[in-house]
Amino acid sequence: MSTYHTPIMLGEVLQGLDLKDGGIYYDATIGGGGHSYAILQANPTVRLIATDKDGEAVAEASRRLAPFAGRFSIYRTDYKNFAKVLSEAGIDGLDGFLVDLGISSHQIDDEARGFAYRSEDAPLDMRMDTRSGLRAEDVVNDYSEEDLKRIFRAYGEEPFAGPIARRIVEARGKARITTTGELRRLVEGGIPIRLRSAACARRVFQAIRIEVNGELEGLADCVKGLLRTLRPGGRGCILTFHSLEDRVVKEVYRELNTACTCPPNFPVCVCGKKREIEIVNAKPLTASEEEIARNPRSKSAKLRIARRIAE
């Protein structure tokens, strides 16, 4: 397996997709290609379409999947552009898809990318797509105190968003904040000493990363659209890694798993809503203890699986 990124819950994902002979599958965030490799290897008759907006990921996945030439296509774009990608590929329906919403090990470990809060002198970047204009440095130095507080609360669920935002604004008034170490120390300074820990900056770094990459924007519509692109019996697998994105996925699944929404006292249905999916696993699957021991980053993963039902 490639050392670029260790795919999370690989066996559970393959079982969840329930690969069909001759099926067409979509890996929305291909990363280093670990899940895609396993899909193509598991069934020699399937075809794979994949996307990723990280150029390094696309290059690594292309190299990794080279033995399966002719059976896959990778597009460098945001997975939320799936409809355009599938149209260009001449595909009008899917037999399964995987959306892995996690950040890759390579992105975290490459200090130049600026994702890791434990790094000291890494630049404040955090862009998954290096062609994008907005960097973490821009958010930290150019957003108003109110906007910083808003994203720390909304995207990081940070209880000390106010004091942290205030310290950042005070510090940047003296000199621009440019490194992960500077930002981490400012965050730590905004948290009471008794509550500080080695990971206390994680929530703020997560919030800034989500803002830089627009991770939650359009997520619900995308998940809904992908599920509706499935052929009857097709499976959708979504891996989430924090409560915000998992909540979005859970709500979409619940909505499409519900039929009539008319009030109980209505004698007949007037809303016309049809049930579109069935939820395969009532509770999200999580990584085994053995996998967590091998790869601690799998600890927060949740896998939700849905199956498209006939209209």
43 pLDDT above the threshold of 80:
yes
**pLDDT digit string, tens, across residues 56-70:** 999 999 999 999 999
CATH number, domain 10-101+216-308: 3.40.50.150
CATH 1.10.150.170 range(s) for the chain read 111-213
pLDDT at 246: 96
Task: State the Cα–Cα distance between residues 77 and 83, nearest whole angstrom.
Answer: 12
What's the pLDDT tens digit per position in 123-177? 999 999 999 999 999 999 999 999 999 999 999 999 999 999 999 999 999 999 9
For residue 177, what are its two tokens?
């904040």
Entry pTM? 0.91
- Tell me the β-bridge partners of 307: 235, 278
**Tokens (6 digits) for 158:** 């940070």
For residues 262 and 209, what is the distance between their CA atoms, to the nearest angstrom?
Answer: 40
Q: What is the pLDDT of residues 107-117, one digit of tens each?
A: 777 777 888 77
| Superfamily, domain 111-213 | Putative methyltransferase TM0872, insert domain (1.10.150.170)
User: Looking at the chain, which residues constitute the CATH 3.40.50.150 domain(s)?
Assistant: 10-101+216-308
Residue 207 burial by CB count (10 A; 0-12/13-18/19+): exposed, middle or buried?
A: buried
| Distance, CA of 162 to chain centre | 27
- In angstroms, the Cα distances linking 7 to 2, 11, 39, 91 are 9, 10, 12, 26
- Only one residue has tokens 């069934």, namely 43
Which tens digits make up the pLDDT trace of 71-127? Answer: 999 999 999 999 999 999 999 999 999 999 988 777 777 777 888 777 878 999 999
The string of DSSP codes covering the chain is --SS-PPTTHHHHHHHHT--TT-EEEESS-TTSHHHHHHHHH-TT-EEEEE-S-HHHHHHHHHHTGGGTTSEEEE-S-GGGHHHHHHHTT---EEEEEEE-SPPHHHHH-GGG---TT-SS-BS---SSTT-S--HHHHHHHS-HHHHHHHHHHHH--TTHHHHHHHHHHHHTTS---BHHHHHHHHHHTS-GGG--TTTTHHHHHHHHHHHHT-STTHHHHHHHHHHHEEEEEEEEEEE-SHHHHHHHHHHHHHHT----S-TT-SS--S-----EEES-SS-B---HHHHHH-GGGTT-EEEEEEE---
